[in-house]
Structure 1
Amino acid sequence: MNRQKVTSSISSLSDIQRIKAILGASSGNLVEWFDFYVYSFFSIYFAHIFFPQGDATTQLLQTAGVFAAGFLMRPIGGWLFGYIGDRFGRKKAMLISVYIMCFGSLVIAFLPGYNQIGLFAPILLLVVRMLQGLSVGGEYGASATYMSEIATEGKKGFYSSFHYLTLIGGQLMAVLTVVILQQILDHESLRVWGWRIPFLIGAGLAIVALWLRKSLHETSDENQRTNKNSGSLSYLLRHYWRPFIKVIGISAGGSLTFYTYTTYMQKYLINSVGLDAKTSSMLMTGALLLFMFLQPIAGALSDKIGRKMSMFFFSSGIILFTVPIMVYLTVVNSLTAIFLLISLALMVCSFYTSISGLLKAELFPPQLRALGVGLPYAIGNAIFGGSAEFVALGLKQKGMESSFFWYVTAMGIIVLLISMSLPNKKAVEKL
């Protein structure tokens, strides 16, 4: 199949078919991120199972360390699945990533604790989380590339926003699962066995995602996949090192901000603001629901004002609002005010999340796109996003919690500087 046939096949898709393709691709994205976030949201219930020693903050710090270790596998996943996506097709890469995530969640659901198998419990947990990190690291580049290619010109921002919409949807499903189980089970039941339920749910949902993804249209063609430079890391670093570095920087600041306002925020509300777990979960559920629906709005806006302007709004907002928001959360007494502050933070973040994959995909040619998007994103995401909770909790333990807010602000400055060097839309030549 040549490039003209693939392009013709994609361009001939109706709006309904195109939407089905995007939903099919993003369904696996939703499941992958549901499984990944379930670990973070339920860690307050199972931390003592695998790390029985120490106070609550120490146990959370240890589970956050395992969470960060999963992120460290993302660059390997970004490289491996980027290569697969460029060499063997986006569809194949997305299918394999879901298989791995499903396996990991199933293992965690039945994994014995420290009291049963001793040190093997945290070791096996670490290994499984690293496998899931490999999977998620590969998922981003493949699915972001696919969705940028299946979308129509003039609406790419809108369609590509479904990438993070489903990512947030997976996160929202995870926190909703927390809320529902908190209503059904008492605290002790959740700590003993109830935390295993969401991992079983995630493994089951993966079956549906696999079925949907098998019907996807492939957006790469045979000539592209067999090109000697397709998926070549050395070629990418020699000829596209500038956009490679830019993607690392943008991903570092964007991921750090995203995880600060989502996964870490729940723990911040409990540990620092002083809310109970149920109230924190309810607030985050509402905020994430709003955040999810902001994605297509912000994505469509980027089609009008350009990616560069969207990134300017994001980075400027992070610089101006991070410290005030995090500080005021600890002093306001109204739950409504807390919700509005979190929502403001997430609204600013949506200028980045809605176009995250598309912005990066537009910097690379088709033969290197999955690798060019996936690997530098995974590097920035692993170092700065994956360590967000670990750094924040570590600084809190040392009595320097406010330093973390300034750290996020400093990364916003870096993203602003990089964003100013970006064109609104960049076409790159074919290899």
Structure 2
Amino acid sequence: MIKFSKKHVFFAATSTIVEWYDFMLFAYLTPIIAHNFFPHVDKYAGILMTFGVFAAGFFMGPIGSMVMGSVGDRLGRKRALVISLLMMIFPMLVIAFLPTYNSIGILAPLILILMRLFQGFSIGGSYGGVMVLMIESAKSNRRGFIASFATMSSGTGVFFASLVVMILSGILGSTALDIWGWRVGYLVGLILAIIALIMRLIIPESHSFEKLKEAGEIALTPVRSMFKEQRKPLFFAIALSAYGNIAYYLILSYLETHFIDLGYSEFFSLAIITVFSLLFSFSAPLWGLMSDFFGRKILVKISIVLYIIFSYPAFIMMTMGPVYLMLSTAILSIPLMLIWGSYGAAAPELFQARYRYSGNALSYNIGNSFFGGTVPFVATLLLVVVGSASAPAWLLIISSIIMIPIVYYMPETRFKEV
């Protein structure tokens, strides 16, 4: 029986908050970044370009996951997580002091893109590894509950990013926030990142990796071997990640811009997303515990049904006033919570221990990068092309229909030994 270590969970979760805070801060500053770095184009073009830069960071995720996944499976989970966080600190510092387009011209957006690529590489090698560290440090009947703290920590980082922007907007006003206030958010993240680095430096290694090391079963080429021996687990994990991230970025990233476009104030829009980011974050252990009792698959199945039935009506309700907007956001958020309550344990449990860091990190980042990261861009494009405020709902409906046969054939991993 694996001895549960609270230290594993606390340090891994706390340090992960910082990474997701910094990575998602960009999304909540989209209108401001568009104005400062793409001022030579119209409103929609600027937002599309900014979402394009946002998506660019995600495309480095799979590369980061393969490089750091290999480190995590060969040299240890802890070492990979420390290196990943170090690579997040540098772009935070650069973006905080980066001159705008009006100061240095085209160099400004080019440097911004480069820093997003650095951030994408960093988080690509980190988040999947945090899940692995957690399930490898938990009792077999509590892996869903413990792994959900990875979801809680990422959600807390997202919540904290939206909260900071909302507070800055309320205190400074839109003009000061646009000129210089947005940089304060990055400076806050920089300070927190240094604290998080100290936590990761003293975090203990996972029990499962230590057992592999003692038994001499460390894979010499974990990424290459994982592609040969773990194809089915990789497929199912990618599908879960893609589905979860499509829902996640549509609801907790894109909707803030969508609300503003519908005529709601920036402060009100941020407040709504902040509240639901908080609910998403702190309800994760509840859904994780449910996955331990009822299984991983059932939560995903319920989410599929809810999204197919309620996505389109929810987007129509957003145009009917503030009360209906809050209700529609709640309707869309509940199945999102179910998916991620299951995902934290379900995805890494699919893989063998010697390939787990590589497999889980890569599958998460393929789904996150090629599906989730492009959602704000695709949703905005759908809105412009179709001309209907409910057009983004089809992203949830179509992805849910595709997931039906995948979840049917996916193995239940609740009782699997890790």
Alignment partners' CA distance in 1, 2:6 and 2:303: 27
Deviation at 1:341, TM superposition (A): 1.8
Residue of structure 2 aligned with 1:207, choices 175, 183, 194: 194
Partner of 2:368: 381
2:256 pairs with 1:269: no
> Shift of the alpha carbon at 1:355?
2.5
User: Which residue does the alignment assign to 2:225?
Assistant: 235
1:368 matched to 2:355: yes
Distance 1:65 1:150, change over 3 A: same
Indicate conservation of the 8 Å contact 2:55/2:374, yes or no. Answer: yes
Look up the equivalent residue of 1:105 and give its one-letter code. Answer: M
Counterparts in 2 of 1:426 and 1:161: CA distance versus 1, 3 Å: closer
Change beyond 3 A, Cα 1:130–1:113: same
What is the rounded CA distance, in whole Å, between the counterparts of 2:323 and 2:280 in structure 1? 16
**Which one of 272, 280, 295 corresponds to residue 291 of structure 1?**
280
The answer (yes or no) to whether the contact 1:249–1:414 under 8 Å persists in 2 is: no
Residue identity over aligned pairs, in percent, reads: 34
Q: Which amino acid aligns with 1:284?
A: I
SS in 2 for 1:229: coil
- Is residue 36 of structure 1 aligned with residue 26 of structure 2? no
What's the CA shift string for 1:204-249, capped at 9, x where partnerless? Answer: 1011111112221201127449646355222212111111111111
1:81-160 to structure 2, matched below 5 A, reads 81-160=68-147
Once residues 98 and 267 of structure 1 are traced to their aligned partners in structure 2, the CA distance between those partners, rounded to angstroms, is 29
For 1:231 and 1:161, locate their aligned partners in 2 and report how far apart those are by CA, in whole Å. 29
Q: Say whether the 8 Å CA contact 2:69–2:223 is kept in structure 1.
A: no
Q: Quote the residue 1:4 is aligned against.
A: none
Q: Secondary structure at the match of 2:409?
A: coil
Partners in 1 of 2:135 and 2:416 — Cα distance?
14
Instruction: Indicate the SS of the match to 1:398.
Output: helix
Normalising by structure 2, we get a TM-score of 0.95
Q: Note closer, same or farther for the CA distance 1:158–1:218 as it changes in structure 2 (3 Å cut).
A: same
1: CA distance, partners of 2:398 / 2:382: 16
Which amino acid letter does the alignment assign opposite residue 418 of structure 1? I
Pick one of 316, 323, 344 that aligns with 1:336. 323
Q: Report if the CA contact (8 A) 1:42-1:195 is conserved.
A: yes
Residue segments in structure 1 that go unaligned for 5+ positions in a row: 1-6
Are the equivalent residues in 1 in contact too, given 2:226–2:359 (CA < 8 A)? yes
Residue equivalent to 2:176: 189
- Of 187-196 and 321-330, more deviation after overlay is shown by 321-330
In 2, Cα distance between equivalents of 1:19 and 1:336: 41
* Superposition deviation, residue 426 in structure 1: 6.3
Aligned with residue 300 of structure 1, among 289, 309, 329: 289
What residue in structure 2 maps to residue 172 of structure 1? 159
Offset of 1:429 from its aligned partner?
8.5
Output the CA distance in 1 between the equivalents of 2:34 and 2:231.
41
Q: Are the equivalent residues in 1 in contact too, given 2:74–2:219 (CA < 8 A)?
A: no
Give the distance between the partners of 1:353 and 1:426, measured in 2 at CA. 15
Answer with 366-375 or 236-245: which moved more. Answer: 236-245
Query: Could you tell me which residue of structure 1 aligns to residue 305 of structure 2?
Result: 316
Q: Deviations over 1:143-202 (max 9, x none)?
A: 111011112121111111111111110011011101111121021111111111111111
For residue 55 of structure 1, report the CA deviation from its aligned partner: 2.1
Deviations 1:399-422 (A, max 9, x none): 345443213211112223211112
Give distance in 2, aligned partners of 1:198 and 1:100: 18
1:161 corresponds to 2:148: yes
2:32 partner amino acid:
Y
Mapped to 1, the partners of 2:241 and 2:163 lie a distance apart of: 27
Partner-residue secondary structure (3-state), 2:186: helix
Q: Counterpart of 1:248? A: 238
1:419 aligns with 2:407: yes
The answer on whether the counterparts of 1:26 and 1:162 sit within 8 Å (CA) in structure 2 is yes
How many residue pairs match? The answer is: 414
**C-alpha distance in structure 2 between counterparts of 1:161 and 1:426, whole Å:** 14
- More displaced, 261-270 or 395-404? 395-404
- 1:224 and 1:326 map into 2 onto residues whose CA distance is 51
Amino acid at match of 2:412: N
How far apart are the structure 1 equivalents of 2:218 and 2:24? 38
Report the RMSD for the aligned CA atoms in angstroms.
1.8
Paired amino acid for 2:240:
I
Contact 1:114 1:120 in 2 (8 A): yes
1:260 to 230, 244, 250: 250
Which structure 2 residue ranges, 5 or more long, are not aligned? none
Matched, 1:55 2:42: yes
Distance 1:93 1:184, change over 3 A: same
Q: Can you list the C-alpha shifts for 1:25-74, whole angstroms capped at 9, x where unaligned?
A: 01121100000111110121221211111222221111100001001111
**For residues 178 and 67 of structure 2, what CA distance do their matches in structure 1 show?**
36
SS in 2 for 1:125: helix
* CA shift in 2, pair 1:211/1:72, >3 Å: same
What is the deviation of 1:325? 1.0
CA deviation after TM superposition for structure 1 residue 342, in Å: 0.8
